[in-house]
Amino acid sequence: MGIDIFWLVLGLIILIFSGDYLVKGAVGIAEKFKISPLVIGMTVVSFGTSAPELFVSVKAALMGSPDLAIGNVIGSNIANLALVLSITVLIFPIIVERNSKFIDWPMMMFASILFFVFSLDNLITMIEGLILIAILTVFIIFLIRNSRKSNLHLDEDIDGTPSNFPLTLLYLFGGLVGLKFGADWLLDGAIGLAKSFGMTEKVIGVTIVAFGTSVPELVASGFAAYKKQTDISIGNLIGSNIFNIMIVIGITAVITPIQVAESAMSFDIYWMLGISLALYPMMFIGKKMGRIHGVILLTAYVTYIVLCLHSI
């Protein structure tokens, strides 16, 4: 038990520092290329925080565990919006920018619905995977061009933002690497502690593992909100959900077709779609997404987990 506590604490410390450096690096990239922080959050940060889901899903599919590959993405998308976003806005209220409402959320919802349609025959093929990757590529190109045409930039300097480009890249990639290893160590320690208390693998999967794979998003979004870079904060979460579907499912399906379990199609995917849909009106209610929104989202997540545990 002692070694599990050590890895859990070490992972948490690494995550805290990595999240800070990741946000500073992302802001530096935005300043260098005159790209809005929202685009950086939607692309670089989102891809980095989605890397653990990609590794898990590809490995699971190759090992003949398609349920884990699909469940990993659906569970992570639910946790990103209902858990990570709720915790973030409970601590730091977020102002939702126009692009998040009218470009990013519609793309996330489109990706979620396309994922649902591709899953109706209980199989996601290589062709469908290529379609997902191609659509995301076009979307990213659109985001970058739109941002540069609009000449969007930061309104104020952020304390600690690196002054030169090599250091910016070091902050960015160092933060991403730190998030990856910090999440792994935190997760290993948490699972070890859970097993020592007699929790089953299934319970660990729907609670600790689901939270652990969303810790990078939580840390990155929390630090972004704390640094008042709310574009990166909300952009990271919406972007991560888009990447989880388009890239994680897309690349995994290209490597090997993914079987979609009936249980995922009859329960989990509807929760993912429902929470994604419910987020939209919340983005328009009030000047900021704050504690009321956080309580609603967190309640939805707790309800989902309770129902999952009840079905065991």
Give domain status of residue 194, yes or no.
no
Q: Residue 123: phi, psi to the nearest 5?
A: -150, 125
Give domain status of residue 96, yes or no.
yes
Tell me the CATH number at 74.
Answer: 1.20.1420.30
Token pair for 7: 């890895």
Q: How many domains does the chain have?
A: 1
H helices of 34-95, in order, are 37-40, 46-62, 66-79, 85-91
Give domain status of residue 84, yes or no.
yes
Give domain status of residue 30, yes or no.
no
Predicted local distance difference test score (pLDDT) of residue 155: 45
DSSP secondary structure of 238-268: HHHHHHIIIIIIHHHHHHS-EE--HHIIIII
pTM metric for this prediction: 0.79
Predicted local distance difference test score (pLDDT) of residue 47: 74
Predicted local distance difference test score (pLDDT) of residue 157: 46
For the chain (length 312 residues), average pLDDT per consecutive 10?
86 81 80 74 74 74 74 87 91 84 94 96 95 95 78 49 82 86 80 75 62 76 75 80 92 90 84 96 89 95 88 64
Give domain status of residue 28, yes or no.
no
Predicted local distance difference test score (pLDDT) of residue 199: 67
Q: How many residues does the chain have?
A: 312
Give domain status of residue 90, yes or no.
yes
Residue ranges making up the domain that contains 305: 37-155+200-310
Give domain status of residue 231, yes or no.
yes
3-state secondary structure of 274: helix
Rounded to whole angstroms, how far apart are CA atoms 263 and 285? 34
Give domain status of residue 188, yes or no.
no
Place of tokens 């890397």: 51
Rounded to whole angstroms, how far apart are CA atoms 214 and 217? 5
Angle at 265 between CA 201 and CA 236, to 5 degrees: 75
Rounded to whole angstroms, how far apart are CA atoms 285 and 51? 32
